[in-house]
Structure 1
Amino acid sequence: MSGAPFHAVMADGPEGGFARWLQATDGVQIRVGVWPKDAAKGTVFLLPGRTEYIEKYGRAAKDLARRGYATLTVDFRGQGLADRALDDPLVGHVTDFDEYQLDMDAVIAFARAEALPEPWFMIAHSMGGCIGLRCLMGNHPFKAVAFSAPMWGILISAWMRPVAVAMARASRWFSFDHRIVPGSREATYVMAVPFAGNTLTTDPEMWDYMRQQAMACPEMMLAGPSLGWLQAALAECNALAVRPSPDIATLTALGLQERIVDIGPIHARMAQWPKGTLSLYPGAEHEVMMERPDTRARFFDEACALFDLHL
């Protein structure tokens, strides 16, 4: 482990934040970020979504610190300042979602080596919700978990799904899985579209927070996924769908204006999760943690109330 770049001003997180380089067992370098807290109740592992990076969650770490928790988050492989698999750094790519579990192993080992305050909890957003669910289905150190718009299904229109699935599979067979998914944006989302009509947040201040970060550190940004990533994501969502939910207390937050992930698998899983609660947020888009102040406060209040029960 060695020191890694950390943009504290851009993150606008609690005092004392830092970043470290980690190496997964397959040699891929990732970056982990920590916002410590004196006398913390415990530590929240915040798993980001596709395209995201440590500094985007500075304000979320502040919200968790106000409620007594330290925060650890990560640049998963292929995004932020972690190693990227393709010559075109803007195209997000993995061959198999198992690769993300190697990142999780490295992060958990780091947390143990650093003796981060226990107990440990998880907040997992979007793609991080897919990675987090897989982690929870094995041996894990977490006492409770909160999901935000988890990617348990890929939102593709019914008429387009067979085409997308066939193209993703063919890309692997014929070795063009490194190419960007047709129709995907070739620039990072917050710089490619206006605030009006965006699918991330209804809060102009948080939209500006994300845009300012994109302008300050374009090297951390990511555009559309590769066909290989899409194939891997579809395969992982299908594999997870047939597995029972883990025996852990769970809160899942979902905005009623969600337009990025498929909400069907979320409703289906939460309806059958014995220790699970689905919390719906009227007026919220995909990123509940980047929404208006009352929405953000509600999410962190609910998540931390769940965590407080498992101290």
Structure 2
Amino acid sequence: MADETQDGVLHSTADNPAPGNSFTGFFEGVGGVRLRYAVFRSDVSLAKGTVVLLHGRNEFIEKYYETINELTAQGLWVATFDYRGQGGSERLLTKHPRKGHVGRFDHYVRDLELFLERVVLPDTRLPFYMLAHSTGGLIALKAAPRLANRIERMVLTAPFVGLGPQRISIDNLKRLTRLMSWTGFGARCLTEDEGERPFEGNALTTDPKRYQRNQKLMRDYRQLTVGPPTARWLHEAFKTMEEVRDPRHLASIAVPTVIVAPGNDPIVPYGFQESLAQYFRAAQLVPVPGARHEILQEADRYRNQAIAAFKAFIPGGDPEGDA
């Protein structure tokens, strides 16, 4: 049976209990949008720093409890929030709250900066690191030139820097979403809201247990989920991908970075991530052959490689005294 925790801000189920030792709340993002956040403290007396955790599109805090527990067990605090328009944060299209929408990708970046200023800096422990998945990786890359004095190191898993094959060509998809955005149809979706999808043939993970756990979360707390992205969201995403892939932008990033790249990712094909790393002098690429897109939700044989890469790169990631 599902139950609520932390004054109803976070949600917990029997097979996905919320980590303890946390505080939660809401902060105002750009334009006064109400954004849900949570900070999870480590029980280790001397904290080794704080990981700022950024999710993918149509994800939310509850989906990352397993990863959060692993990080806090290593002496790291975790600070995370739901993006505008998804999870437990305020929706942007009040008449159509399930549409995955954003006005500008810059709003995501500014929300991140406000989160760092209003929650992370005053209420957590130095030094600060970043772990960002998919769309979170795209946001982190766009913000990265301004993060050098705040974030020590970044780990990006399957950053959303390219899109795999779709029903229409990517070039035509770019033209269509740009036209729709410019002509007042940016709030429309190009596909239907399909709801739950079967495990067989999914693009996210080879692990049936974790897949079913996440599907149950989305069934129990449908209010946290969104449907397909709007034309405007896609248009803004395509623009941001082109910006962050520009060698001049990549050269301006000074934050040391690891890119964990799943080798069997149909959403962000491996070639996009490999190409990104070629021009990103502050980054190193860690391929994980066979893994699908959501590597932190993957089978242990893949997921453990991502966690090991994180621990090897983030100072203080391994427990003191362990051989």
- The whole-number CA distance in structure 1 between the counterparts of 2:237 and 2:220 is 30
Please tell me whether residue 34 in structure 1 is matched to residue 42 in structure 2.
Answer: no
SS of aligned partner of 2:302: helix
In structure 1, the partner of 2:302 is 295
SS of aligned partner of 1:49: coil
Contact 2:18 2:65 in 1 (8 A): yes
Report the TM-score when normalising by structure 1: 0.91
Q: What code does the residue aligned with 1:108 have?
A: L
Please tell me whether residue 120 in structure 1 is matched to residue 128 in structure 2.
Answer: yes
Q: What code does the residue aligned with 1:137 have?
A: P
In structure 2, the partner of 1:272 is 279
Q: How many residues align?
A: 304
Please tell me whether residue 92 in structure 1 is matched to residue 97 in structure 2.
Answer: no
SS of aligned partner of 1:100: helix
Match of 1:226 among 230, 233, 248: 230
More moved, 166-175 vs 273-282: 273-282
- The whole-number CA distance in structure 1 between the counterparts of 2:211 and 2:277 is 29
More moved, 123-132 vs 146-155: 146-155
In structure 1, the partner of 2:120 is 111
Match of 1:258 among 243, 258, 265: 265
- The whole-number CA distance in structure 2 between the counterparts of 1:124 and 1:67 is 18
Please tell me whether residue 138 in structure 1 is matched to residue 157 in structure 2.
Answer: no
Please state how far the C-alpha of 1:32 moved relative to its aligned partner. 0.9
* Unmatched runs of 5 consecutive residues or more in structure 2: 1-5, 319-323
In structure 1, the partner of 2:3 is none
Match of 2:74 among 67, 72, 82: 67
SS of aligned partner of 1:277: strand
Report the TM-score when normalising by structure 2: 0.88
More moved, 172-181 vs 195-204: 172-181
- The whole-number CA distance in structure 2 between the counterparts of 1:162 and 1:248 is 32
Match of 1:12 among 9, 12, 17: 17
SS of aligned partner of 1:7: strand
- The whole-number CA distance in structure 2 between the counterparts of 1:64 and 1:92 is 29
Contact 2:74 2:317 in 1 (8 A): no
Contact 1:95 1:229 in 2 (8 A): yes
SS of aligned partner of 2:50: strand
- Kindly provide the CA deviation profile for residues 64-85 of structure 1, in whole angstroms up to 9, marking residues without a partner as x: 1232211111100010011111
Contact 1:3 1:20 in 2 (8 A): no
Question: Percent sequence identity over matched residues?
Answer: 27
CA spacing shift, 1:32–1:94, aligned 2, 3 Å: same
- The whole-number CA distance in structure 2 between the counterparts of 1:44 and 1:309 is 11
Please tell me whether residue 201 in structure 1 is matched to residue 209 in structure 2.
Answer: no
In structure 2, the partner of 1:168 is 177
- The whole-number CA distance in structure 1 between the counterparts of 2:84 and 2:308 is 30
Match of 1:244 among 228, 241, 250: 250
- Kindly provide the CA deviation profile for residues 75-119 of structure 1, in whole angstroms up to 9, marking residues without a partner as x: 0001001111112111101121001012102210211121x0111
SS of aligned partner of 2:311: helix
Please state how far the C-alpha of 1:9 moved relative to its aligned partner. 3.8
Q: Which aligned runs of 4 or more in structure 1 are off by greater than 4 angstroms?
A: none
Contact 1:255 1:282 in 2 (8 A): yes
SS of aligned partner of 1:33: strand
